Amino acid sequence: MTVLLEARHVSKFYGSFRALDDVSVALKENELLAIVGPNGAGKTTLVNLLTGLAAPTSGEVLFMGESIAGVGPVALAERGLARAFQLIHIFPKLTVAETIAIAVVSQQKKHRRMFSRLAADRAVAARARGIAEIFGLERRLDVPAQALSQGEKKLLDVASAFALEPQVILLDEPTSGVSTAEKHGIMTTLIAAARHAGVKGIVLVEHDMDLVAAYSERIIALAEGKVLADLPPDAFFADAAVVETVVGRRRTH
């Protein structure tokens, strides 16, 4: 099976602090890989390495077989790996349509006329509308991002990333701040959208073990900067010691 994204024996130091220690991770084609761990486990550092925001102190990070160490999220998105933009926090007064259109324009490399031609560019508008429909936001196109519900804001974040037509998408706590009742609906929508868009692989960084159990096909657990476990869900949740280390308590079914 094709490996899409991988970290090979990566370590990351910040001064004398070792955030990651000889970590290896691989995302395979058609896989939803969950990365879990307690606070301070190294999840954020690993995500920053996998998305090109930082370079490892040692080891290598590869996307589609090519090194992406420290290339940055913009260049990486052009290669086909996207992470949710959270544009709603940058441009809260833009509408749903405008927020998605920014990402569409970026993907089409029309940066210089991003704002001046947004309204006039029918192709961009049509593409933005189509993406909004996939995420159930078609009735909210003219609503400012800041006026959306928390769940809708999460969907808009990820819709913007999908506009880049990625082969791999990284979802970092996609349901944080969302009510328990909405979480499964959001995850179902995200996974259906990924399949519709032809996304080849998903990395999910998540602390909600119910979501991890329900949607992941493999789970990598980090603890103190090292890989604690790399297991399918059934085997992961059958290991009480691993689950306790990750969540700080035994998971009840």
Residues 112 and 149 placed together within one structural domain of the fold: yes
Residues 76 and 172 placed together within one structural domain of the fold: yes
Residues 1 and 75 placed together within one structural domain of the fold: yes
Residues 73 and 170 placed together within one structural domain of the fold: yes
| Domain range for 56 | 1-80+166-253
Is pLDDT at 87 greater than 80 in this prediction? Answer: no
The pLDDT value given to residue 66: 93
Residues 154 and 89 placed together within one structural domain of the fold: yes
Residues 176 and 72 placed together within one structural domain of the fold: yes
Residues 6 and 110 placed together within one structural domain of the fold: no
Structure confidence by residue, pLDDT tens digits, 32-60: 999 999 988 999 999 999 988 899 999 99
Token pair for 218: 């493999």
Structure confidence by residue, pLDDT tens digits, 167-214: 999 998 888 888 888 899 999 999 998 888 889 999 999 989 999 999
- Whether the pTM exceeds 0.85: the reply is yes
Bigger pLDDT: 74 or 233? 233
> Is residue 85 within 8 Å of 160, Cβ to Cβ?
yes
Residues 29 and 66 placed together within one structural domain of the fold: yes
Q: Which residue among 121, 149, 165 closes a domain?
A: 165
Q: d(Cα 144, Cα 146) in Å, to the nearest integer?
A: 5
- Give residue 104's pLDDT band: very low, low, confident or very high (50, 70, 90): confident
Is pLDDT at 108 greater than 90 in this prediction? Answer: no
Residues 152 and 175 placed together within one structural domain of the fold: no
Of the candidates 203, 158, 195, 199, the residue with the CA atom closest to the CA atom of residue 178: 158
The pLDDT value given to residue 240: 93
Tracing tokens 């550092």 back to the chain, one arrives at: 45
Number of domains in the chain: 2
Residues 190 and 239 placed together within one structural domain of the fold: yes
- Give residue 109's pLDDT band: very low, low, confident or very high (50, 70, 90): low
Residues 153 and 106 placed together within one structural domain of the fold: yes
Is pLDDT at 232 greater than 80 in this prediction? Answer: yes
- Give residue 73's pLDDT band: very low, low, confident or very high (50, 70, 90): confident
Instruction: Determine the average pLDDT of the residues in 59-72.
Output: 92
